[in-house]
Amino acid sequence: MLAIELRDVEFHYPSAPPEHALHIPHWQVDHGQRLFLHGRSGSGKTTLLRLLTGMMLPQQGQIRILGEDIQTMSASQRDSFRARHIGQISQQFYLLPYLSVADNIRLAAVLAKKSSAALDNNIYQLLEKLDMPANLFHQTAGRLSQGQQQRVAIARALINQPPLLFADEPTSALDEDSAAAFIRLLLQNLTPDTTLIMISHDHRQADWFDQSVALQDLTVVREDI
């Protein structure tokens, strides 16, 4: 079964020049695949992830995620679908600085309506697996170091055990060793059937993944856009 399938997808920002338009004739990703997506800066990697998460919709074409056509969903259905099925990690981690480590992770579960009596226990276990010191579980996220914030962001993305995980340039601000440590940590904590797409402009990280794809190989240039 396919985790992701795109057919003749076309997207452009209304205010952006035509050369920034994204056109993907066909692309599919299998379940459980760990895929490294790279491309030059401004090529549309982040835009593609936003299309895959349903944050934005293409002007044309079809996007099927986990077998569901996200264009046919209402906005609130897409919000709910994203919360339940997709984990995200981004370069800036986007933690809520005033919430504790545990609350930042709990929030993702609550929004996915996966809150349960065992939730606190699951959060603590996940943080322990990510080598997060226990004394930081109730620390506010705004007071954590960058490395600690990375771990919380990973835990938040994994707490709902999503079938899809998107990581958008999570290592761009890290040195080579730290980036390698981050990827290792991420891959160690994934369940086998989780599909991972990690975006980066650093080709050297491709070795960690099952498949490496350059965005320009997926797209075609449309002269008429």
Partner 1 sequence: MLWRIARLSLWHRRITIGLIVLALTLAFAVLLAVEHIRHEVRDTFTGTVSGVDLIVGARTGSSNLLLYSLFGIGSPTRNMSWDSVETIRQQPAVDWVVPLSMGDSHRGFRVLATSSDFFTHFHYGQKHPLQWQHGQGFATASDVVIGSSVAQQLGYDLGDSLVLAHGQGRTSFSRHTDHPFTITGVLQPTGTPIDQTLLIGLDAMDLIHGGKPGAHPESISALLVGLNSRIQTFTLQRQINEFDDEALLAILPGVELSLLWENLGWIETSLRSIAALVLLSSMLGMITLLLVSIQQRQQELGTLRSLGAGPWFVFALIEIEVLLITASALLLALLTTQLGLLAAGQWLAHITGIQLTLLKIDARLLGWLGLLLLISLLAAVIPAWLASRRSLLQQLHSESH
Of 151, 84, 155, nearest in space to 115 by CA: 84
5 lies in the site for partner 1, by CB under 8 A: no
Q: Note whether 123 binds partner 1 by CB under 8 A.
A: no
Q: Does 2 bind partner 1 (CB under 8 A)?
A: no
Q: Which of 9, 47, 132, 182 binds partner 1 (CB under 8 A)?
A: 47
In the list 5, 27, 33, 46, the residue contacting partner 1 (rule: CB under 8 A) is 46
Nearer to partner 1, 16 or 173 (CB): 16
Q: Does 114 participate in binding partner 1 (rule CB under 8 A)?
A: no
Nearest alpha carbon to residue 205 among 225, 185, 176: 176
Q: Which stretch binds partner 1 (CB under 8 A): 25-33, 62-70, 88-96, 206-214?
A: 88-96
For partner 1, what does the binding mask look like between residues 151 and 180, x meaning CB under 8 A? -----x------------------------
Neighbours of 221 (CB within 10 A): 10
Answer yes or no whether residue 82 interacts with partner 1 by CB under 8 A.
yes
Give which of 43, 3, 5 is closest to 25, Cα–Cα: 5
Interface residue with partner 1, options 57, 99, 181, 213 (CB under 8 A)? 99
Residue for token digits 């890290």? 174
Q: How far is the CB of 210 from partner 1 (least distance, A)?
A: 26
Question: Cα–Cα–Cα angle for 71, 77, 79, nearest 5°?
Answer: 100
Q: By CB under 8 A, tell whether 57 contacts partner 1.
A: no
DSSP annotation of 191 reads -
Q: Does 42 bind partner 1 (CB under 8 A)?
A: yes
Assess 76 for contact with partner 1 (CB under 8 A): yes
Q: Quick check: 4 and 70 in contact, CB under 8 A? A: no
Kind and range of the H or E run holding 149: helix 146-158
Question: Contacts by 121-125 with C-beta closer than 8 Å and gap 24+?
Answer: 122/159, 123/155, 123/159
Q: In angstroms, rounded to a whole number, what is the distance separating the alpha carbons of residues 64 and 15?
A: 26
Asked if 117 interacts with partner 1 (CB under 8 A), we say no
Q: State how far the Cα of 33 lies from the Cα of 204, in Å rounded to an integer.
A: 19
Q: Applying CB under 8 A, does 95 fall inside the site for partner 1?
A: yes
Q: Which of 25, 98, 176, 210 is close enough to bind partner 1 by CB under 8 A?
A: 98
Q: Which residues bind partner 1 (CB under 8 A)?
A: 13, 16, 42, 46-47, 50, 53, 55-56, 75-76, 79-80, 82-84, 88, 94-99, 103, 106-108, 110-112, 156
